[in-house]
Copies of this chain bind each other. A is one copy, B any other.
């Protein structure tokens, strides 16, 4: 095997630690949201993306791209959120073939109520242990990785909307 296929000790160590973060973080976020707000992390993220959108509305295709879901998976989740009265599905007024997802007032209340506990956990687990310069380094490093992992920038709209 070609030696340069392999990683240096330092690269391997950093990679294994990143892989451990990737393995552990979703479960920690999911546990808190399920327990405190009866939402999966994906449901929370879907509601949050809608709450940040103009008029709390996004086309299903745009919402799927922003949440990294297939349209089939997103449709399933939006149906469940609609049953709980948190989201409505309405025909797009400017394109009859398209469907929009709209956050309801109850959906807005739900995401506003869920946010503090979620943000508090993000601070405890991720932001708290990092200095300001660590945050700047993390921002630079994740941007470089995302250029490879998401070259079309599907998730970037959600990121830049601050």
Select A23's contact among B6, B16, B68, beta carbons within 8 Å. Answer: B68
Q: Mark A123-135, 1 if CB is under 8 A from B, else 0.
A: 1111111101011
* A129 → B minimal CB distance (Å): 4
Chain B contacts for A13, CB-based, 8 A: 139, 159, 162
Chain B contacts for A119, CB-based, 8 A: 5-7
Chain B contacts for A62, CB-based, 8 A: none
Q: Given that A119-B5, A129-B147, A129-B148 are contacting pairs, would A142 and B10 also be in contact in the complex, using a CB cutoff of 8 Å?
A: no
Copies of this protein chain in the complex: 2
Taking residues whose C-beta sits less than 8 angstroms from the other chain, chain A's interface range is 35 or more
Q: Given that A13-B139, A14-B139, A119-B6 are contacting pairs, would A130 and B144 also be in contact in the complex, using a CB cutoff of 8 Å?
A: yes
Chain B contacts for A139, CB-based, 8 A: 10, 13-14, 17
Cα separation A119 to B17 with both chains bound (whole Å): 15
Contact A21 B129, beta carbon cutoff 8 Å: no
15 contacts between A and B (CB under 8 A): A11-B135, A14-B139, A14-B142, A17-B138, A17-B139, A18-B138, A20-B158, A20-B159, A21-B149, A27-B68, A126-B145, A129-B144, A129-B148, A137-B138, A141-B141
